[in-house]
Amino acid sequence: MARSADHDRQCALTRTVQPASAMVRFVLGPDGELVPDIDGRAPGRGVWVTARADHVREAAARNVFARSLKRKIHLPPDLAQLTQTRLEQRLRGALGLARKAGQLQTGATRVKSAIAAGNVLALLTARDAAPDGRRKMMASLRAAGLEQQVPHFDILSSSQLGLALGQENVIHAALTPGAAAESALVRVRKLARYVEPVEREKNETKIR
């Protein structure tokens, strides 16, 4: 099948054609076990599946990977969870690079200052953040007139955000303009699509 300039791929499960950024590639490791190729660069033949946990589970249950690769393969115990873990790892790495580049602010005070200056690409709030803190951050977005423009994600815990950013715990973070932050935003959107299939068309969760 011809590939378009933006690297479209066909989902082996649904047969729909989508951009590679909306999909996950799977390849066989040296031991014959199927593994997610999150960056899409591993050598060998790959199988592309829409980046949704439920689609990966269904593809595994329906033997889609073995049929696509035309050979017997070994599936890990929970391929969908393994894929999510790898997506989270890549996101944490991207957030760390954004921080080192000075394109990520943490802490409620710094994040609110970035919002007030209109210098925010996206907000990240820990899944376990207190409701009051969420409401105050949303109030800051409304006051700056950015409520509809700035996406918000709450798909990592405070400990996961802290691990990514070299801090004990992180509740609030903001990506600010720059190449490293743009790269991190691509990864956070992909993870959001993967773990939130019901909200897939939105790609992000808004604070209410």
Q: Where are the domains of the chain?
A: 8-76, 83-199
Topology (CATH) of 8-76: Hypothetical Cytosolic Protein; Chain: A; (3.30.1230)
CA distance 17 to 20: 9
Q: At residue 194, does pLDDT exceed 50?
A: yes
Tokens representing 99? 């921080």
- Residue range 196-207: mean pLDDT, rounded: 46
DSSP structure class, residue 93: H
Q: Do domains 8-76 and 83-199 have the same CATH topology?
A: no
Residue 30 has what pLDDT?
A: 86
Higher-pLDDT residue of 149, 201: 149
pLDDT value at position 196? 76
Does the pLDDT value for residue 6 go beyond 80? no
pTM of the model: 0.85
Q: What percent of the chain has pLDDT over 90?
A: 77
pLDDT band at 203; cut points 50, 70, 90? very low
Find, among 78, 76, 48, the residue nearest to 64 by Cα.
48
What's the pLDDT tens digit per position in 98-114? 999 999 999 999 999 99
Domain 83-199, classified CATH 3.40.50.1370, yes or no: no
Mean pLDDT calculated for residue range 120-147: 92
Instruction: Tell me: pLDDT of 52 over 50.
Output: yes
Q: How many of the other CB atoms lie within 10 Å of CB of 155?
A: 21
The predicted model gives 182-186 an average pLDDT of 95
